[in-house]
Chains A and B, each alone.
Chain A
Amino acid sequence: MAAASLGHMFLTYLRRELRNRRKQTAVVAIGLAVAIALVMVVSSVSAGVRDAQAAVLESVYGVGTDITVTQTAEPGEGGGFGPRRFDFDAEDGEATDEGTRELAQERLTTNPGTTSFEADALDAVAGLEHVTGVAATLELTSISFSGEMPDLDQMREEGGGIVVGPGGGEEGGQGGPSSFEIDQQTVTGIDPAAAAVGPLTTTEVADGRTFEASDAGQDVAVLDAVYAEQEEIAVGDTITVGGTELEVIGTVSSTTGDGVETAANVYLPIDVAATLADLEDQVTTLYVQVDSSSNVDAVSEAIAAELPDATVSTQADLAEGVSGSLSTASSLVSTLGTWLSVIVLLAAFGLAILFTVSGVNRRTRELGTLKALGWSQRRVVGQIAGESVAQGLIGGVAGVALGGLAVLAVNLSGITLSGSTGAQVAFGRPGGGGMRPGTEGAGEAAVGGPAAFGGGGGDGLAGTVSDVVLQAPVSLWIVAAAVGLAVLGGLAAGVVGGQRAARLRPAEAFRSLA
């Protein structure tokens, strides 16, 4: 058997049939094309959203972090805004002539909702199987309060509490003028010697230098470049954290994107941070790297067993913690997008099958004639299946082109997704959203009795917000899968139609009607 000659008639006949039934071919191919274009868009957009999520997570947790370990604060302990207050006694500060007292206080505590735990957890985790790297950080929030408060002694005499007006303005309250400022920064203590895992892995030095092993115990700080610019702090300047002056040795910027803030405003050697916060040998977060993604769950369970009080989060858990338009997009793509593609894909497959079967029914006499001419079962079935697969291929190529254009359109339209991670709770970071010093939120805080400032509550708990422009990647894999799906649709139609053709008796050639 000369294969080439068989192939020739096969192809000629196939081409003629497809050309002759142009409309049917077009409908089937377009159906499949639209379906796989949709599949392409959905899968590449969801890959894009996943990338964006990873970028947001990485900007907070660093590259290569598979698991983070934190500990949730018990009510009444830790750095929560609720229980932690600035408590000023009436005698604090200096009384001024105008019936106010000048006050200034700074608090360096663990982040709201989290608490620190013993640093030896690091060694416990490092000793676990499949763990290839662990870094510990001490993630703190520094809130400083400064300003003038009404002299409470005087006010008590007049009776009743007072409300400080917006912006701490002059007209606020009957008890005399008051004004105050709240400043807040995130401060992260880092092991200067450990560089492989942790928040600094997604940063690059913008100015000066980053930590070296010899910085341990030194009063030095590295600042987030965006923060440094806002605060007009340059390398070589000093900043005050926890009442101690630290020399700024460098600034770092995020590798995630231009103008994106890194995980914290201020980075310190972890031992210095611990001393300043009065949290000796304590850490708040462990960043754990695992040898293979298939071991992440096992390691996560092992850590949970080792540290029963800890909250162990895998990348997948962390991704769930990403909120904002990013998470909306993510759930939209994963639910609606997936269902829509499945439905459209099934409809396209159904259409292909329907048209093929009706084609076989119409060609009963023709196919019977071929059998009467001595064509084998296999050849007749192959011819029918070949036509369907060819329609699938045409649909596949058209669909990849269509899908490619659609993805291109998505990418060119520059959709910006913003994501925030609840785990890194920032409060009123300058320019970072949330509450700003001296704005309404602070001003509305009621002051009564011994002046107590209890924080702004939930509204102020904006996480680390990152804007990521959606870039939907079209991988070769997606293209191959898309074409494969279209061919699969053609094949499904071919199998059904071929089965029908196989059942036809050669005697159908004698049918008087076509």
Chain B
Amino acid sequence: MENKKFKLVDIIFETEGCDVGVVLDRVLKRTPDDIIMDMIDSGLRGRGGAGFPTGLKWKFTRSESAYDKYIICNADEGEPGTFKDREILEKVPMKVFTGMAIAGYAIDAKEGFIYIRGEYRFLQKKLQSQIDEFNQMLENKGLDFKIALRWGSGAYICGEESALFESMEGKRGEPRNKPPYPTVAGFRNKPTVINNVETLVYATMINKYGADKFKELGTRDSRGSKVFSVSGDTPKAGIYELEMGLQVSEFVKEFGDGDTKAVQIGGAGGTCVPRKKFEDMIIGYEGVPTGGSMMIFNSSRSMYNVLHDYLEFFAEESCGQCTPCRVGCQQLLKGIEAVKRGERPPSYLDDLKSLAASMKIASKCGLGQSVANPFSTIIDNFREEVIY
């Protein structure tokens, strides 16, 4: 496994010399197929968490013959410990819009929407005027594409793409059955490209610098760089763009407070990496994938409390429609409480792990499917802390 040394990168927030108008002009001179080929070649994978190859997503959507197609920028950013999309939208909004316009050009969509977290209302005025300005620029360039804002209302599940479409359609935000996937039937059941805020900025930058430049960074399966939201027991909480493929130990060396016991990578639904595995794990698709959330815990933290918090979050934020997730989350939560109180034997944790395994394969969407990640990794690595 290749692994990378710590390296700060400045692509996402780079503003110098980045005239999005110039990038767009270059894009519009090329064919949509060429743009998509480049995206595939770059190896860019979605930065929202699931890591689907962006170029392929665009290609699939392009190959659908529907008249109406949509581009959606997922700015719901509900994952605990993630706060990068807000920063990106505040600092480099034009690069996000440009990514949407490029995607629109590539798949032949005329409308794009930014579905943004309700808590980011304070951005509304500024963002709207920037969108207006951008739409005007597109009109001047003769590109038939318009962007509009849509507001979420605070449910974590509405960041899941199909629940997001439901929410945008004015319905209850519940994930849909898949297939069909968004590339075939997304918003209003039309072919839709949905990408994370950060993914769209990389799309812009790949079109600025070329795929090769992007490929120079990262590893074979995890090309490029990524924005991380670093929080927890760290003297340097904040947002950092780092090369992909970084070894966890390198990360801890840079951001830990010297007493790091574990890092939760990928938010509440991510993986807990304990100290003894820091050397074995890299941050990337061949190791531990992440949408950017990196929570650092030092030895003063009770991993029982950490897990308890996550489970409370899931029991609350599950949409509640499917059995394994709705009831499973409650059982895992009540179960560790019962073990803690001595009402159930420690061996009950194994029943719960088996339940978590069923939740992973039988839940309807990524939320229920991911609860087993923190559960199993924390139980496996910090069993004593959970029991006593």
Binding between chains A and B: no
Task: Give residues in A with beta carbon < 8 Å to B.
Answer: none
* A-binding residues in B (CB < 8 A): none
